[in-house]
Chains A and B, each alone.
Chain A
Amino acid sequence: MSSALDRRHPDRAAASPDGNPAVDQGLVPPWRLRRHAAARRASTGRSRWSGWLYMMPALLVYGVFVLVPMGRTVQYSFYDWDGVGPATSVGFDNYRRVFTDPELISTIVHAFELLGFFTVIPIVVGLVVSSLVREVATGRFGTVARTTLFLPQIVPLVAAAIAWSWMYSSQGLVNQTLSLVGLDGLTRPWLSDFTWALPAVGLIGSWVMTGLCTVLFLSGMAKIDRSLYEAARVDGAGPIREFFAITLPGLRQEIGVCVMITIIAALASFDVIYASTQGGPGRATLVPGVAIFRLAFTEHQVGLASALAIVLTLLVLACVLPIQRLVAEKNP
């Protein structure tokens, strides 16, 4: 559509009121516009189909490895099936059990309790730390701080969980530290304490997620216009006001992304818990991820496991969709 004329008079082309520079510039008489539009439609129609063609390999892989298994999971959730032998259709019985079995409901409650540790703590700490790092740590120290904070992301979760379970053990680092500062009364084998096991596991999640959030926030801060801070300073704003008035609104998208990632990590958590407590003590840290795995692969109740998986998926979507909508809004 663009012509040599546009290049010679870029201002005029850009200023075109209805987005059709060709008419504005008298290159195409208005009565011939309809034919142009028709031609344009034809060409986009063609490109739409060729677009699908290009997408085909990826779509095929996506379909075979994501959509079909998802459809199968939905299908299995309506059966009583041991995974190998013949299955019997049971209607919504599996779903009924997911919502009535206190053990399965408690797994979902635990997942939401983990939200505090996987989402709230990392985002709050991440905001504070990234603000501090931006203020005080420039140059080499800043790089070291960023790298150190991001490091937990690189460690495989299973390895992290094992290392943490050593630290939480009765002779572990956590208790040694508590004894050192005279808090012997608080020492306990954290992961086998019915009250403290879930918070202890949750903190492993906080440790992993904080680095990710901090690094995301730091990069978000880098793109906030410096002049906003200068203007705020001229207005007499202190660092705390600056944070709430400029940094926080400026990081809206990054916060949205962090909230989404961490909510998914919390609700769908599996590896940290499987490697550290396996749901124990009792059922104090049993989350849907571990319960699904056990139901499907050790208890051979594929139907019930599928139903719980579907419920978990819907829960994750219900939590994440509103946040995604928020983030997807156009920037002011």
Chain B
Amino acid sequence: MAGSRVWGGRRWRLTPGLLLVHDGRTLSGFETPTARPDIGGLMNRFPFAHAYSVSPKVSATAGLLLTCLILGGCGTPGSDQPEADPPPEVSTELSSDEVTLEVVAGSCDEALMQALADAFMEENPQVTIDLTLDDCTQLPANAPRLMASDDPPDLIRLSTLGTAVEDDLLTNLDPYADAYGWDQLPATQLEQLRVSDDGRTRGSGSLYGMPFGFGLTGVYYNKDKAAAIGMNEPPGTVEEFEALLAASEAAGETALMASNQDGLVAYAYQGLANQFADRDALGQWIYTAADATFDMDGTRQAAEDIQRWAEEGYFPDGVNALNQDQVLGQFIEGEGVFYYSGNWRAATLDEQMADNVGFFLMPPTDARGPQVAMSAPAGMGIPRRSDQINTAAFFLHWLQSDTARSLEVQISGLAPAGSPNQPTPEVAPGSVSEALLHAWNDLNESDGLIAFLADATPGINTSALIPEMQLLVEGKTSPEEFVSAVQDAYAQELGS
């Protein structure tokens, strides 16, 4: 605004710096204070500088206050952890004394956890389970604080192990694995709950959690629409699957429903990467083994495919603006031929789409190749400072009982904990839950579980996978850049 500009009339003037001038008399704005020293003429040159000048008294008080707070506050943060008592002698028997087991779980598992707790208490009336539910998105952040608190729970849902082992917050379950024979389970089932002696690298070492079921991701399909594009049986190779996507697109359908506001195109991405890359190499990267790198041909090829699928228009319009609930709703309403998601949606889909929904795992590149699929244990751990470790371990083992397994499958659609040799929990014939159980058994046969890329480090999902996946489907980053951006974020987080 020009300084000489006269606004509204000759007598009133608004000048730069918001001085209001009336007949040459300044009515407002900054008047040069004389009491404070004007170092280097700062105040004259920059009228706004007055705003930052503070009287010596005020600054002294503020300084004193801050110093007191910082010096008197506390020592090094996190250095006041009390020592935990030595663990009790291992016992696989439940004592007849009345005990209360404090359990913290996520509110998204409320129905299942409540049913499991009720069933357990019915079988073991001397145990009272005190179930506390925390918001599922907040629980990973709250869990370490709960475990470190003065009154830790006896069992807690572990979305990720994070630094809990390094920070000595969890009970080592190796003695219980020996006592209960958990070592007999397929090795890849418990891999994700193992941590090496360095406290950080997962995938091998001591066991720190046990699952109440397994998430399993793969492809749902709308049976009517799949039949319409000529799919008589699930595809046997990635190539066949891609041909089906192309056929769907040609038929004017949305080929593959997925949401990407939450970055969950990553499920489909990993579905491909699991087939293209070496399972162990990818697993080592997720478990943050030394020297592991994301820079592999398989991960790059998967990124190329996802970008091509996006260019071909296989994903729904505005996939970057969609979240998982919206996509689920749209698929139920009949949009899309295929839908990449997990078994935790099975119960809802069975209920809403009756017999019109099927499921298959992402097929291998070669029809004879082994099945590999992303599947994460819904793990629970025993805080190191719990005073009911034996009872809590008994509950963890009970999660593999037939009663618990059928609750796990029926209520949440999770793949059941325990050995594939146990009787398969009953589900409605022809339901998608049945298809999921078959897929689960196939996967266990080839021992082909692999963890979720987003669980590699606490920050990798929000700092790299979600934003980079959004850039990738929009064509704003190349597959090479995608791979190196993910690796860079990973290296930076682990290095810090």
Tell whether A pairs with B. yes
Interface, chain A (partner B; CB < 8 A): 67-68, 70-72, 74-76, 79-87, 89, 103, 165, 168-170, 188-192, 194, 232, 235, 237, 240-246, 248-249, 252, 277-283, 286, 294-295, 297-302, 304, 318, 321-326, 329, 331-332
Contact assessment for A83 and B51 in the assembled complex, using a CB-CB cutoff below 8 Å: no
**Of B9, B66, B79, the contact of A235 (CB 8 Å cutoff):** B9
Min CB distance A308 to B, Å, is 13
The 6 closest A-B pairs by CB, nearest first: A189-B318, A71-B69, A299-B459, A244-B8, A192-B320, A245-B8
Q: Are A297 and B476 in contact (CB under 8 A)?
A: no
Q: How far is the CA of A96 from the CA of B29 in the complex (A)?
A: 37
Chain B residues within 8 Å of A252, by CB: 20, 28
| Contact call B261/A278, Cβ cutoff below 8 A | yes
| Chain A contact surface mostly | helix
User: CA of A325 to CA of B322 in the docked complex: distance in angstroms?
Assistant: 45
B461 contacts across to A, CB distance below 8 A: 298
- Contact partner of B76 (CB less than 8 A), chosen from A68, A87, A168, A235, is A87
Give Cα distance in the complex from A192 to B470, angstroms.
Answer: 9
User: Is B204 interfacial (CB-CB < 8 Å)?
Assistant: no
Using known A-B contacts A84-B78, A87-B77, determine if residue A188 contacts B8 with beta carbons closer than 8 Å: no
Across the interface, do A85 and B8 meet the contact criterion of CB distance under 8 Å? no
Give the nearest-CB partner of A81 in chain B: B77
For residue A326, which residue of chain B has the nearest CB?
B18
In contact, A294 and B9 (Cβ under 8 angstroms): no
Q: Which residues of B contact A190 (CB under 8 A)?
A: 321
Q: Say which size band chain B's interface belongs to.
A: 35 or more
Chain B nearest CB, measured from A199 CB (Å): 15
Which residues of B have CB within 8 Å of A321? 51-52
Chain A residue contacts of B163, Cβ below 8 A:
82, 84-85, 300
Min CB distance, B438 to chain A, in Å?
A: 35
- Cβ of B448 within 8 Å of any chain A Cβ, yes or no, is no
B76 x A86 contact (CB < 8 A): yes
Q: A84-B78, A325-B30 are in contact. List 19 more A-B contacts (CB 8 A).
A: A74-B66, A75-B73, A79-B76, A79-B77, A82-B167, A84-B167, A189-B320, A192-B320, A244-B14, A245-B11, A249-B27, A280-B320, A298-B461, A299-B463, A304-B496, A322-B52, A326-B28, A329-B28, A329-B30
Question: How near does chain A come to B306, taking the closest CB pair, in angstroms?
Answer: 15
Which residue of chain A lies nearest to B72 when distances are taken between CB atoms in the complex?
A71
A332 (CB) vs chain B CBs: closest residue: B27
**Complexed CA–CA distance, A245 and B467 (Å):** 50
Complex Cα gap A276–B320 (Å): 12
B48 adjacent to chain A (CB < 8 Å): yes
The answer to whether B51 and A192 touch across the interface, beta carbons within 8 angstroms, is no
The verdict on B162 contacting chain A, using a C-beta distance below 8 Å, is yes
Choose among A191, A237, A243, A300 the residue that contacts B459 (Cβ–Cβ < 8 A): A300
Q: How far is the CA of A168 from the CA of B166 in the complex (A)?
A: 44
Identify which of B139-147, B284-292, B354-362, B363-371 touches chain A. Answer: B139-147
Q: Can you sample 11 A-B contacts with CB below 8 Å? A: A67-B69, A84-B78, A84-B169, A85-B163, A170-B317, A170-B318, A244-B14, A279-B462, A294-B459, A331-B28, A332-B22
Q: B13-28: which residues lie under 8 A (CB-CB) from chain A?
A: 14, 18, 20, 22, 27-28
Pick from A75, A188, A331: contact of B318, CB under 8 Å: A188
Would you call A300 and B474 a contact (CB within 8 A)?
no
Bound Cα distance from A89 to B79, whole angstroms = 12
